[in-house]
Amino acid sequence: MDDRWMPVVAELRERFSADTDVIEVEAYLSSQGYDRRQIGEILSLLFSDTVPSPMWGGANDAREPSLRVQGPHERGRFAADAWGYLISLHRAGAVNLIDFEQLVERALIHVDGRITLTDVRAIAEDIGVDDGAMGRERPLIH
């Protein structure tokens, strides 16, 4: 955890409610002079479950841990349906958070330009993610 951002995160938690749109928070940080990399780091801390906050829930909260916020570099590359497919894989239990991150990184590295649903499905199939959890039956081959 990067302690230099904790005062900024604390300020954001006081300034914005937990249900505030991330775009609004991002616009505020941009108006304060933070660059896109810094904004990504701050938003990751703000919405992570590793920083406890009584108002926002936190690591001690009984709810399921959330995924990290999509970074600006990912938001511009992933088509909405491709990102949704990744999230649905995670929610269905087909991939854990580590596998989720590997899928994202592979897509960013191996696909030039916009990352489509077809690209993400091909990468998921290449690493052996069971698509049966997503409603398509596929025989398990040992």
Q: Are residues 130 and 85 in the same domain?
A: yes
Q: Are residues 13 and 63 in the same domain?
A: yes
Which range marks the domain in which residue 44 is found?
1-67
Q: How confident is the model at residue 68 (pLDDT cuts 50, 70, 90)?
A: low
End of a domain among 24, 43, 67? 67
Which pLDDT does position 119 carry in this prediction? 93
Q: Tell me: pLDDT of 57 over 80.
A: no
Higher-confidence position of 65 and 54: 65
Q: Are residues 96 and 35 in the same domain?
A: no
Q: Tell me: pLDDT of 118 over 90.
A: yes
Which pLDDT does position 69 carry in this prediction? 67
Average pLDDT over residues 98-122: 89
Task: Enumerate the H helices of 16-131 as residue ranges.
Answer: 22-31, 36-46, 72-75, 80-91, 97-110, 117-126
Q: What percent of the chain has pLDDT over 70?
A: 73
Average pLDDT over residues 111-120: 91
What amino acid is encoded at 20 in this protein? T
Q: How confident is the model at residue 64 (pLDDT cuts 50, 70, 90)?
A: low
Q: Are residues 139 and 88 in the same domain?
A: yes
Output the average pLDDT for the chain: 76
Q: Are residues 10 and 29 in the same domain?
A: yes
| Tens-place pLDDT, residues 16-41 | 887 777 888 888 998 999 988 888 88
Quick one: which of 88, 89, 86, 91 has its CA closest to 105?
86
Which pLDDT does position 115 carry in this prediction? 92
Q: Are residues 60 and 82 in the same domain?
A: no
> Residue 128: left if φ>0, alpha if ψ -120 to 50, beta else—which one?
left
Q: Are residues 27 and 82 in the same domain?
A: no
Q: Are residues 49 and 82 in the same domain?
A: no
Which pLDDT does position 44 carry in this prediction? 79
Residue 16, both tokens: 């914005």
Q: Are residues 17 and 39 in the same domain?
A: yes
Q: Are residues 15 and 62 in the same domain?
A: yes
Q: Are residues 87 and 132 in the same domain?
A: yes
Query: Positive or negative, the Cα torsion across 109, 78, 65, 12?
Result: positive
